[in-house]
Structure 1
Amino acid sequence: MGSEATTSGRTQPGAAEHSLPPLVEPAGSLTPEEVRRYSRHLIIPEVGMEGQLRLKNARVLVIGAGGLGSPALLYLAAAGVGTLGIVDDDVVEASNLQRQVIHGVTDLGRTKAASARDSIRELNPGVDVVLHEVRLDASNALGIFAGYDLILDGTDNFATRYLVNDAAALLGKPYVWGSILRFDGQVSVFWDAHGPNYRDLYPEAPPPGSVPSCAEGRVLGVLCAQIGSGMVNEAVKLITGTGRPLLGRVLVFDALAMSWRELRVRKDPDAAPITALGDYEAFCGLAPAAPDGTGPDGPTVSAPELAGMLAARQAGQVRFDLIDVREPGEYEIVSIPGARLLPQGRFLSGEALPELSRDGEIVLHCKSGARSAAVLSYLRQNGFTRARHLDGGILEWIRQVEPAKPAY
């Protein structure tokens, strides 16, 4: 779900006028039960019977049944969208329930896609739900997208966002994008055939680890509802041809100030056209580690290997510094015994460097590996040649070494 705190690229204050025809042709008719269910829509002149029939005939794909996907799927179903596709290969965990309101306690351990489907059926049994319980990648994106009129992207990593953008552009489809991080959210509509696409907003991916995911960077739970409902608002407008969509505009929300502001996004006339899908992990600097454990930012250590190192350190056989680069709140939840807390920001500002020995061995860790990889890269650039980081972070430590500890 998603996670830029600020926008970049070709933006400026203001709003562009875009008038688009309805995205979907109307279905044949509503049943008497559907007329009763959607009566509050039917009496709105801008929606009416024809708009509701378009919603019934619409096929919408939601990528991610997590923080943004949860409210989006519920409100799309409540609005009467006829077919909802769900792309998600994850399972429901306890830490999801703070914001992913489509799931409940009884869904823990189930796939998110199946859990979301059951909630949708309970809310509106007239909606056809199609599950795609796969990891979206360049090999399957075009095939999945082809069966839908509109895409909603609620993912929280840049590689998938660029993939969604390029696949939608190649197929000529619009998509609604949402992003959340801590107290900030963003919503926009991208449609390469009629205006800017995501690459016009973010021409280049940020360095790995510089922008945390929701899991790494935390998010206020209710922010998901505010941004997710905004995404559905745009979807309904596109399907029915009502109002002015956020094409060429980014809506930015600050939950602490309870304020919205709008930025204009222009299409880059000099940008290369999108002609094929690419290697998005490499584009975002997320190349996999080599067989010897050396990744693009240096060597790693496995959780069992670190456990052995800590036992040897306790016995006085080895010396090394284990550094936790997470934030204090995360450290309070769970920590690795013997780890010293030095948050990532102190490294990237240079403040923490005097506290480390350039000649000594250093092992870094964060939650899942992204932030520690960024710190490792910084250290190696500054002469700390004996630094490594924990592959998979503390989550992998919990899974392999201390399963009784809470995975947040």
Structure 2
Amino acid sequence: MASDDAVAIQVAKRAGELSVITINCPDQTGLGCDLCRTILEFGLRITRGDLSTDGQWCYLVLWVIPCSASSNIHWTSLKNRLISICPTWSFPFDIDSSNQPMHSQVYLMKLFSTDRKGLLHDVTRVLCELELLIHRVKVSTTPDCKAMNLFFITDGMELLHTQRRQDETREQLSAILGESLYSFEILPANGFQHGFSSLPPQVAENLFGLELVDNELCSHSVTPDMKNLKKPDLNFDNTLSHTSTLLQIHCVDQKGLLYDILRTLKDCNIQIAYGRFMSHTKGSREIDLFIQQTDGKKITDPEKQEFLFSRLRSEMLHPLRVMIVNRGPETELLVANPVELSGKGRPRVFYDSTLALKLLGICIFSVSKLQSLNTFWSQYCDYSISTYIYHLQAEIGRHSSSDREWEVYRFLLVDSNDLPLSSRHAKNHIVDRVRRTLMGW
């Protein structure tokens, strides 16, 4: 079978209708997770799905719809990316590892421009549309209303080493930023490593604490109407199949739900023989998965069942953690998600977080306070402090907690008349809006 035949996409003819993605290729552990991550990365939501495999060959049918009505989906690029993930066979019928995707080159994109409300999201949206994946960000501002944006990125199309691809990126960003763009540069980030975010112990405990598992939803991150949602209902049944354990899940629907479930099973070395992801009714989902251990046996050990139950329940309740903390006189928004054992983070978290802040009309970082400091400093010096002081306003880093690694997004927020950050109600509203955007509620 030709590799191009491994993926077929039937695009919906009208807005609001479902597109169908069919994947027919050799199987390997965690393949479903990798495919769902890519689909989520392209801004698509899986509404229904069927999966079957005999351990060597798998067949998937996924019904998808854009997460946003304004999304412009690049279907050809999506097909090419999915094909690149699918394993291939080589004689004598083994998976050919030479055709598997290698680690992508990481690039540093430097962007210096005038700062303004919504700047960070507008840049992020352009990068997502260009299939440039964001792995780390450091955004700083100066007291004279300029922003230095450092994005560590990889190219889903693997073309960023070419001048044509770099020029395309510059043109797309220039179309958004206009004359406010002062300088732009893309360089290879050789030796790139994910930076680690230093969080105070109490903040880390509240953000990653295991006690969240026992609560229906984090009390400081949802409004009262969301607390009425039911907890995930999971059930193991070993009577319906001679070779597999049936895992039945009934839970609240949310963006990336199938990815979260398959990511957890992949990290726990659980294989899926057959699965069905059924259409939601009144905001809920039903999932049936026939699963096996890597040795092909059922999951009959009560301790293993309990471990898998707790892990899946936690990931479905809290695939993302959102909270607001005080950092001295400033207010900081924290968003965190668990990193796969493979080292890959969840897609589009930075995009959704900045989108929520933009829709709320919240600026990141208060220039006025540093301008006041600059005025004060200039009374005693004959040069401007703005020439060398940068204040960190947004950052992506990693944090290790409870034997797990998390990706942490940090945003320094600006107080406003509409949403005074000193108000507890305003803080809860911000956290709730960010969480709803991330979860697709």
Q: Give the TM-score, by structure 1 length.
A: 0.25
The TM-score normalised by the length of structure 2 is: 0.24
